[in-house]
């Protein structure tokens, strides 16, 4: 009896120890989760304002508040230049070579203004890429989601050639590191879009309560490219930036607090919309940036103006050493008298620069007679010898 009682006490001690251990672990995990969540929700738009200031201009825009315009080359386009697509567990992510790519291609939206060019609007939700995906026979295409556009978009079949921001590649070229070299000529976009269908695959992140745009499915890309695709694992870092190490995509993706006081969250320097300067510091442009080799060739007379010169008039070149016969090149009317006087003064007189053969009629016979007399041979005085 005594032995059974001791055995029962020992068993109860073990259960108590296990219970205490589980209680400690649960409490620790809860406190760690609470601390991590509190730390993440303390991040506001200020992180964007501070980290992106060296690489662009924060502008007070009338429609969207504070927008960011990058210091980039004229051929810059989001999800097009200086980057490539890589598959992750959340979908296809845009891996950018820009130092600021961790923010602008995974948060917020991109917009386009005829005078300002491309600009970025901060957002709250992280995603692998905020683009619209479509597929046609033999092609994949994507376009940046505009401001205020969610993933439940409706694709408009009407094609606007003047605001064409789509990128298309052949299916076999999708996933290349130098994908910008394989973009389809813009003149073919209308035909491709007319035969396209929407790719509506999504991924729901339950922890963040956010739905991402996934893009083309892995099996289809493997089949058309003939290569095996291994997804990258997203690893969070504690400082702004992104880096690929082996099969891990280490990226800074904090949670943005939606309830932060916007009065205390402002960029350190804000310029007016009319004061935007499209300058290009060389330090902000990676050396590996390239211009797509399949960029359409446009004749000079049909060439479109650059985005930052959309309101300027083209300059007509003219050779200053060659007089123009066009009415536009005629001097003003106030110089007409001077021009006429110059013409009069330079006009030859009647006897200037006239050849001897064109003298007066009285001189011509006289000179002709003289020439004839000189040309005749001398006659002998003795007529008999002749």
String of DSSP letters for 320-357: TTS---SGGGSPPGGGHHHHHHHHHHTS--SSTT--GG
Cα–Cα distance for residue pair 332/338, rounded to 1 Å: 11
Burial of 109 by CB count in 10 Å (0-12 exposed, 13-18 middle, 19+ buried)? buried
Task: Give the H/E segment covering residue 372.
Answer: helix 363-375
Provide the b/e sequence for 303-313 (b: ≥16 CB within 10 Å).
Answer: eeeebbeeeee
Cα–Cα distance for residue pair 135/98, rounded to 1 Å: 27
Give the pLDDT confidence score for residue 162 in this predicted structure: 82
Q: Are 216 and 135 in contact (CB under 8 A)?
A: yes
User: What residues does 204 pair with on adjacent strands?
Assistant: 211
Q: Are 79 and 142 in contact (CB under 8 A)?
A: yes
Give the pLDDT confidence score for residue 2 in this predicted structure: 60
Give the pLDDT confidence score for residue 276 in this predicted structure: 86
What is the end-to-end Cα distance of the chain in Å, rounded? 187
Give the pLDDT confidence score for residue 321 in this predicted structure: 39
Q: Convert the pLDDT of each residue in 143-160 to its tens digit.
A: 999 998 888 766 655 778
Structure tokens at 25: 């672990």
3-state secondary structure (DSSP) of residue 144? strand
Cα–Cα distance for residue pair 43/32, rounded to 1 Å: 17
| Residue 173 CA, distance from chain mean position | 20
Give the pLDDT confidence score for residue 48 in this predicted structure: 97
Q: Are 175 and 225 in contact (CB under 8 A)?
A: yes
Q: Convert the pLDDT of each residue in 212-230 to its tens digit.
A: 999 999 999 999 999 999 9
Cα–Cα distance for residue pair 131/214, rounded to 1 Å: 10
Cα–Cα distance for residue pair 164/181, rounded to 1 Å: 18
Cα–Cα distance for residue pair 47/154, rounded to 1 Å: 32
Which residues, in sequence order, are CB contacts of 177 under 8 Å at separation 6+? 84
Q: Other CB atoms closer than 10 Å to residue 229's CB: what's the count?
A: 12
Give the pLDDT confidence score for residue 366 in this predicted structure: 52
Q: Convert the pLDDT of each residue in 236-252 to its tens digit.
A: 999 999 999 989 999 99
Give the pLDDT confidence score for residue 30 in this predicted structure: 43
Low-confidence spans in the chain with pLDDT less than 70:
1-41, 153-157, 260-263, 277-386
């Amino acid at each position: 009896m005594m032995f059974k009682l001791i055995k029962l006490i020992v068993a109860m001690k073990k259960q108590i120890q296990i219970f205490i251990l589980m209680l400690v672990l649960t409490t620790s995990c809860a406190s760690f989760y609470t601390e991590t969540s509190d730390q993440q929700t303390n991040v506001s738009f200020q992180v964007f304002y501070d980290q992106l200031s060296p690489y662009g201009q924060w502008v007070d825009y009338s429609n969207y508040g504070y927008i960011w315009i990058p210091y980039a080359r004229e051929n810059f386009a989001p999800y097009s230049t200086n980057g490539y697509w890589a598959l992750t567990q959340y979908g296809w992510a845009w891996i950018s070579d820009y130092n600021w790519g961790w923010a602008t291609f995974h948060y917020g939206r991109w917009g386009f203004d005829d005078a300002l060019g491309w600009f970025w609007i901060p957002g709250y939700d992280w995603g692998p890429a905020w683009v619209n995906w479509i597929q046609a026979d033999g092609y994949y295409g994507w376009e940046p989601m505009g401001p205020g556009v969610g993933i439940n978009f409706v694709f408009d079949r009407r094609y606007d050639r003047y605001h064409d921001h789509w990128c298309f590649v052949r299916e076999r070229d999708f996933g290349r590191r130098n994908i910008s070299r394989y973009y389809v000529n813009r003149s073919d976009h209308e035909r491709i879009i007319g035969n396209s269908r929407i790719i509506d695959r999504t991924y729901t992140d339950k922890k963040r309560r956010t739905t991402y745009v996934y893009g083309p499915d892995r099996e289809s890309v493997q089949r058309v490219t003939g290569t095996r695709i291994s997804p990258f694992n997203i690893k969070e870092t504690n400082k702004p930036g992104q880096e690929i190490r082996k099969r891990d995509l280490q990226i800074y993706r904090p949670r943005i607090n939606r309830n932060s006081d916007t009065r205390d969250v402002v960029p350190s320097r804000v310029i007016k919309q009319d004061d935007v300067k499209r300058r290009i510091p060389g330090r902000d442009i990676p050396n590996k940036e390239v211009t797509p080799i399949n960029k359409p060739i446009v004749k000079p007379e049909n060439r479109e103006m650059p985005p930052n010169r959309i309101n300027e008039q083209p300059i007509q070149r003219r050779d200053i050493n060659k007089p123009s016969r066009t009415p536009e090149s005629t001097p003003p009317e106030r110089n007409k008298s001077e021009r006429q006087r110059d013409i009069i003064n330079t006009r030859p007189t009647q006897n200037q620069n006239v050849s001897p053969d064109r003298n007066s009629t009285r001189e011509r016979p006289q000179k002709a007679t003289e020439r004839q007399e000189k040309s005749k041979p001398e006659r002998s005085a003795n007529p008999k010898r002749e």
